[in-house]
């Protein structure tokens, strides 16, 4: 495919012309925040939720960003200008450029970057294997920052072990996967860990809880132990980029029957319907 158009600080520029300085704070310190927004049939899914989270993340690292309405309009224009229907838009805001210095410099101009690429939904969604791993990340995982090295290392370890992802365990309890929220099914009830500073408030997670409430499916936020995870009838991961992914094995042990479960199948059907309507826009 052709190189994508890039939104950079108020302008739409060719990919080859989009540049940041070598001393941008994101390069030096991972000093920035980001979001990924999916578009279905040319329409953003859960844009308001993404923008609220963006604002929370920016405030959490004391980063002043442009108005979120301006940012969301730019993302919409980026998708329209490339005639994209199903797309994923990666948005990153860095603190800006300055000579390398500790602390947080004041008066910098943030760099706002967005890139839209075509995206597709894999159906049927195949089952995946995961491994568990001790969660030794920093204690502000509720902020969606560009400091992703611990997650990348965990994903790399999982792949070396023949799995697709890692699920983090902190003090005996499930937090999240490397880039996804975790759901388990136990006796017909859907459970997901409650929000805290140790996991991200996923927009797809939010969408599923809304769908469950609207469709009479029992679901609740509840602490999930490592043992609960291994004993679950079904397990699945949710994220904007990967949507919903069923887990069929954890640490080499089958989940339930070792096949994609019925509640996941129903959830995926509800999710697919929601992405093609304005119900959860």
Give the tens place of pLDDT for each residue, 54-72: 999 999 999 999 999 999 9
Give the active site residue among 46, 77, 129, 144.
Answer: 144
Cite the beta strand spans of the chain per DSSP E.
Answer: 5-8, 11-14, 32-40, 43-44, 87-94, 111-118, 128-134, 165-170, 173-177, 181-186, 189-192, 219-221, 234-239, 243-250, 253-254
Q: What angle do CA 13, 14, 15 make, to 5 degrees?
A: 115
Percent over 90 (pLDDT), the chain: 95
Distances 96 to 34, 59, 62, 89, 205 between C-alpha atoms, Å: 14, 16, 13, 21, 31
Which among 159, 226, 233, 207 is positioned nearest to 37, based on CA atoms?
207
Tell me if the domain spanning 5-118 has CATH number 3.30.470.10.
yes
144 classed as catalytic: yes
pLDDT at 18 over 80: yes
CATH code for residues 128-275: 3.20.10.10
Containing 252, the helix (H) or strand (E) segment is none
pLDDT of residue 1: 61
Residue 45 CA to residue 166 CA, distance in Å, equals 26
Residue spans of the domains in the chain: they are 5-118, 128-275
Give 2's pLDDT tier (boundaries 50, 70, 90): confident
């Amino acid at each position: 495919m052709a190189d994508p158009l890039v939104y950079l600080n108020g302008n739409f520029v060719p990919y080859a012309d989009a540049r940041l300085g070598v001393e941008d704070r994101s390069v030096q310190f991972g000093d920035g925040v980001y979001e990924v927004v999916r578009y279905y049939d040319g329409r953003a899914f859960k844009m308001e939720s993404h923008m609220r989270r963006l604002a929370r993340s920016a405030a959490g690292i004391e980063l002043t960003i442009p108005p979120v309405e301006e940012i969301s309009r730019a993302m919409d224009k980026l998708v329209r200008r490339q005639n994209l229907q199903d797309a994923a838009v990666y948005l990153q805001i860095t603190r800006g450029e300055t000579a390398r210095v500790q602390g947080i410099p004041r008066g910098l101009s943030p760099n706002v970057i967005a890139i839209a690429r075509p995206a597709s939904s894999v159906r049927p969604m195949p089952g995946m294997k995961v491994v568990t791993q001790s969660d030794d990340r920093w204690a502000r995982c509720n902020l969606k920052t560009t400091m992703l090295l611990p997650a990348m290392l965990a994903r790399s370890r999982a792949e070396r072990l023949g799995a697709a992802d890692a699920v983090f365990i902190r003090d005996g309890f499930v937090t999240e996967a490397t880039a996804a929220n975790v759901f388990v099914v136990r006796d017909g009830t859907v459970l997901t860990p409650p929000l805290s500073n140790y996991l991200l408030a996923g927009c797809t997670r939010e969408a599923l809880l809304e769908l469950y409430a609207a469709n009479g499916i029992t679901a609740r936020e509840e602490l999930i132990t490592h043992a609960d995870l291994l004993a679950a009838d079904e397990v699945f991961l949710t994220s904007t980029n990967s949507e919903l992914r069923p887990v069929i094995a954890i640490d080499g042990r089958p989940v339930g029957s070792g096949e994609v479960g019925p509640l996941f199948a129903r959830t995926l059907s509800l999710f697919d319907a929601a992405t093609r309507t304005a119900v959860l826009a």
